[in-house]
């Protein structure tokens, strides 16, 4: 059986992280972190809090500020996320994601999870900051790199795996006043208004 290899950084190389928070940063942070990047087997990393698995987490906005909200259906794997809503697309970064693994991984996840029509020449992802949650065993071994994507008018978006996910654009006010979100989305939702402003 082939081992899955993923991108991590040592927790000791990250300095002080808040226990549970999202913090805005500019893109220079990724350049600073890149000196500590290394790939390792996913299995041991899942239970070793001395490492943080890096996860691009992309919040997708329509041209008029609605947010694409996902819900993972029953039977779609990731049992801990079943029937919970999410405002972020994300996943592990692989060696095949290229010389710029963060951006390469983010774009791959975006293209795997969404069907965008018409397909733009490029996806203008903007890095917004770090998302950390050390209050539970899953969060303690992951670190979210939050990006935003603002799509142009006339863009139709659907989920790439409709047997596993459902999704639609939702008004920001509706997202802010709703519950049933997975943990990382709960941390991000209070920052939606500023993320929308900073996504342009």
pLDDT at position 17 is 93
Please give the CATH topology (third level) of the domain spanning 5-198.
Answer: Nucleoside Triphosphate Pyrophosphohydrolase (3.90.79)
- Beta-carbon count within 10 A of 86 CB: 23
Mean pLDDT value of segment 85-102: 96
pTM: 0.94
Tell me: cis bond preceding 84? Omega within 30 of 0 counts: no
pLDDT in tens, 13-63: 999 999 999 999 999 999 999 999 999 999 999 999 999 999 999 999 999
Distance CA 148, CA 126 (A): 5
Residue pLDDT, tens place only, 62-78 = 999 999 999 988 765 55
Residue 83 CA to residue 160 CA, distance in Å, equals: 17
Strand 142-150 and strand 126-133: pairing?
antiparallel
pLDDT for 27 equals: 93
pLDDT at 72: 86
pLDDT of 82 higher than 90:
no
Cα angle: 150, vertex 22, 59; to 5 degrees: 20
Strand partners, 21: 132
Report residue 103 as tokens.
């951006």
Question: Is 91 in contact with 56 (CB distance < 8 Å)?
Answer: yes
């Amino acid at each position: 059986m082939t081992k899955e290899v993923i991108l991590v950084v040592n927790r000791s190389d990250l300095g002080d992280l808040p226990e549970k928070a999202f913090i805005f940063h500019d893109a220079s942070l990724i350049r600073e972190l890149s000196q500590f990047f290394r790939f390792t087997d996913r299995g041991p990393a899942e239970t070793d809090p001395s490492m943080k698995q890096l996860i691009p987490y992309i919040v997708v906005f329509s041209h008029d500020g609605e947010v694409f909200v996902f819900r993972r259906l029953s039977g779609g794997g990731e049992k801990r996320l079943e029937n919970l809503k999410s405002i972020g697309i994300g996943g592990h970064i692989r060696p095949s994601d290229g010389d710029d693994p963060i951006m390469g991984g983010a774009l791959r996840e975006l293209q795997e999870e969404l069907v965008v029509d018409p397909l733009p020449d490029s996806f203008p992802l903007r890095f917004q900051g770090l998302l950390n949650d050390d209050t539970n065993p899953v969060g303690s071994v992951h670190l979210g790199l939050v990006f935003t994507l603002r799509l142009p008018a006339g863009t139709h978006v659907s989920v790439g795996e409709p047997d596993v996910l459902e999704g639609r654009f939702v008004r920001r006010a509706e997202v802010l006043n709703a519950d049933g979100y997975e943990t990382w989305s709960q941390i991000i939702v209070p920052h939606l208004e500023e993320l929308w402003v900073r996504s342009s």
